[in-house]
Structure 1
């Protein structure tokens, strides 16, 4: 699996903390943009890594799926919105959305 740009940070400590969260091959690279330094986090694009980074509303999706599985009412609009975000991410990072998320 090749490394891809997962996220960009303006704060070095936040970027280093994010790097520690993800698994697999990873690299943190800094670059100067005029007077500001940004930190690019490269790593393996996976739903697990995106979840650990708090991206794409995956924690919200997890809660929605728990509610749905339990037979409780869940916010169908939020579910559709989250799936829409994931469809975009899946296309960008060449990932498949697990069927049970839909």
Structure 2
């Protein structure tokens, strides 16, 4: 008998596995707003959705090393990071930062400063 519902974690894991665009947006939003611990946590969620053992094998990494790399204290090398991302169907990308236009002050009229 199948469950009539699934947990939030199960549904999220399924979306991360089956929708690369969703996984990319998730990781991208964390990259934009988070620090290294947040980014590694988000990547850990994605890796868990695919299965750590499978991702480690696909990335040609030791599973224990992968756990350590994605921990809060982890500091992955770029080579490891790109392998892990590739194993879950993602890649790094560089984009320009869109800067907000600076607000310019409007000069005051001579009559406004005389008041």
Q: TM-score, normalised by structure 1?
A: 0.28
Question: Which structure has the greater CA radius of gyration?
Answer: 2
Q: TM-score, normalised by structure 2?
A: 0.26
Higher relative contact order (CA 8 A, sep 6+): 1
Bigger helix share: 2
Bigger strand share: 1
